[in-house]
Amino acid sequence: MRHFFIVLLLSTFLHAQPAAPRIPTESLPPILLPWESEVHTRDVDNQPYPAHKVAGNLYYVGTAGYASFLIISPQGHILINPNFEDSVPIIQKNVEQLGFRFQDIKIVLISHAHGDHCAGTARVKEFTGAQVMVMDRDVDFMESGAKGTRSAFPPVKVSRILHDKDEISLGGSRLVARITPGHTKGNTTFTMKVQEDGKSYDVVILGSANVNDAHLLFDNKDYPEMLPDFLRTFEVLKALPCDIFLASHGKFYGLTAKYAKLGKGGPNPFIDPAGYREHVNLMEKAFYYKMDWVKRGY
């Protein structure tokens, strides 16, 4: 009964917002996300993966499952997602195999404050002296090192607190940080443009739109705004222009299949606007199914 009234109140609130989606009232069919049938453990996902150029001055330097991106310039580089502490040597080796200096990283960004994307931040800062820039709602988590939780990691002092639509600029590259909360309070999607072969492409580096524990949508003392935050996030993501689709996990954007096509003479496989739209739509459907699953008492 309590869940019914929560949904009723939320529905009333959403109807007052012009662009808000309708919350389904009927039972929904199950949604199986493509990667849910695969084995994804830290041992598997934290293995080395070949570094490669995505497009323009944007490179992949992450592990098999935890995506990290390097944006290069003559004035220094930007690293998105240091991942776990023991991911950092893998990332460093990838950066150097591409011919760049790890010590030239001037800015570190995170997609969101979960250990598999941010626990290595302090280590990268120690090695490089880089500035650490974090979305406002994830700052406390980073500076406390998730103290008191099972996923605690070395805390790091944030150099710059980001807010929605803030810009990060270095050496001619400009990223926009868009808050897309739900997965974490400060979950961030970065957008930028890259130039390749005389063309300009819109890049979206998605944080995550995945619901890890659907029960927390309704009963979450630490994050009571989670459910409406997810709903707003889907509206933001659907409105973003996207040519090149990337994300905090390679599995979200089909990294393995796309990497296999590199150098085969065809078009750049990372240029995938349809794949981006399909992913956002799939994640929204999965969100509604998981919400409905909890409402039905599972």
> Does position 61 have pLDDT exceeding 60, yes or no?
yes
CATH number for the 24-295 domain, one of 3.40.50.10800, 1.10.357.10, 3.40.1190.20, 3.60.15.10?
A: 3.60.15.10
CB 46 within 8 A of CB 66: yes
CB 204 within 8 A of CB 151: no
Write the pLDDT tens digit of every residue in 224-279. 999 999 999 999 999 999 999 999 999 999 999 999 999 888 899 999 999 999 99
Per the prediction, the chain carries an average pLDDT of: 89
d(CA 85, CA 154): 9
CB 73 within 8 A of CB 173: yes
Mean pLDDT of 118-142: 97
CB 113 within 8 A of CB 155: no
What pLDDT sits at residue 227?
94
Closest CA to 108 of 2, 183, 95: 95
